Structures are given as C-alpha cells and as structure tokens.
Structure 1
Amino acid sequence: MNNTYLTTEELSDRIKYDARTIRQCLKDSVLLEGKHYIRPFGGRKILYIWEVIEEDMLNRAQDSLTIPMANGGVCHG
C-alpha cells in the first residue's frame, strides 16, 4: 500500500487552503482521523493521506453536479 503522507503545510500547498484553515475548520469536520489523517506513533504530529483526500474531493465535486428530484432520483445537470 503506497500512500503519500503530507504535513499540514504540504497539504495546504496542494489544495490551496491556508494551513490554519485546515487545522481549525477542516480537521475533524471534513477531514477525519483514521480516514484522512493519522497521528503516527501516538504523537502530536499529524500526517494527511493524500490519496484518500484527493478521492473524496473528486467524489464530492461530482456529487455537487447533481440536482435532487422529488421522487428521490437525481438530475445530472
């Protein structure tokens, strides 16, 4: 399993968000421990898993292009 582990600063360079925004707004609300990031060796340092974050960003971008319909379906507009 080849994952790319990034620090907060490296992630901020890739997704063009301020590192402070990642720490204060995205971590633990959008980016979840165990899925999007880990704390190696039980320490304070956080490493983000790039492949998982990238996949979630792309999936949510595709989901936002759909319009929910009253019958439960979606319109791909």
Structure 2
Amino acid sequence: MSQTLLTTDELSSRIKYDARTIREQLKDAVLLEGIHYIRPFGRRKILFVWEAIEADLFSRASAAIPMANGGICHG
C-alpha cells in the first residue's frame, strides 16, 4: 500500500492554504487523525495523507457536515 505523505508546508503548497491555517483551523476540524494525517512513532510531527485529502477535496460528500459519531449530515 503506497501513500503519499506530506508535511504541512508541502500540503499548503498543494491546496493553496497557509500552513498556519492548516495547523490551527483545518486540522482536527476538517482533517481527521488516522484518516487525513498521522503522527509517526507517536511524535509531535504530523504527516498528511495526500490520497485521503485529495479524495475528500473532489468528492460530492465534501459539502456534507461531519458528525461527532463519524456519520455525515446531508443538510
């Protein structure tokens, strides 16, 4: 299984968001640990999974509201 792992700076250049916005507003609100990013070896550094982020960017479900239990609200 091959995944593209990106640092915050690399992700910011791909999605055209400031790295600080990704860390402070998108992480844990839109980007979920274990799906969109990982913390290798339980450390502080964060690596983003590009394929998961790309799939969410271009899916129709991205307009849906994520729920705390893992479900999606469609409106």
Range class of TM-score, shorter chain: 0.7 to 0.9
Aligned partner of residue 34 in structure 2, secondary structure: coil
Alignment of 1:37-76 (within 5 A): 37-60=37-60
1:21 equivalent in structure 2: 21
TM-score, normalised via structure 2 length? 0.79
RMSD of Structure 2 on Structure 1 (CA)? 1.7
Shift of 1:60: 4.0
- For structure 1, the residue ranges without an aligned partner over 5 or more in a row are 65-77
How many residue pairs end up in the alignment?
64
2:55 counterpart letter in structure 1? E
2:56 counterpart letter in structure 1? D
Decide whether aligned partners of structure 1 residues 62 and 39 sit closer, same or farther in structure 2, where only a CA change above 3 A counts: closer
